[in-house]
Amino acid sequence: MTRHLDTRAVYVISVAAELSGVHPQTLRIYERKGLLEPGRTSGGSRRFSEADLKQLARIQELTQAGLNLEGVKRVLALEAEVAKLQQSIDQLQIAARRDIEATHRQYRREIVPLGQSPVPFNRGASTGRR
């Protein structure tokens, strides 16, 4: 539920600019460069979400660290790819654990207690000793 609220586009450009401490024109530039993708009303007005504001904060962090907008775009793309790959890894780990547990359960069904074994194991029998 929080995810939905995080992506709900509610802020007009002037409010988003004020909340983030940048000029509205800067938001337009970031959108034009592909760094932000605000929602649009049926009339075409931009609406920004909490997720957009978080993205904007990350953009500001990277530009203050000295990156130009192309560098920021590349870093954001790489961070998105890392997040996607991490999600895949997490899903694969869950599937692997599930498969391992299923295999272990199968082994438990195949193990026969010594008392029920058709031929008792005798260590000395193979060496000729009793």
Give, for all 130 residues of the chain, the pLDDT tens digit. Answer: 455 658 788 899 999 999 999 999 999 999 999 999 999 989 989 999 999 999 999 999 999 999 999 999 999 999 999 999 999 999 999 999 999 998 888 876 666 666 665 666 666 655 555 5
What is the predicted pLDDT for the residue at 112? 62
pTM to 2 decimals? 0.68
Which structure tokens are listed for 34? 């592909």
pLDDT attached to residue 7: 77
Identity of the residue numbered 53? L
Calpha distance 95→2 (Å, rounded): 26
Burial class of residue 98, CB neighbours in 10 A (0-12, 13-18, 19+): exposed
Answer yes or no: are the C-beta atoms of 56 and 11 closer than 8 Å. Answer: no
Write the class of the CATH domain 2-110: mainly alpha
Question: What pLDDT, on the 0 to 100 scale, is given for residue 61?
Answer: 96
For residues 108 and 43, what is the distance between their CA atoms, to the nearest angstrom?
Answer: 65
- Compute CA 6 distance to the chain's CA centroid, rounded to the nearest angstrom: 16
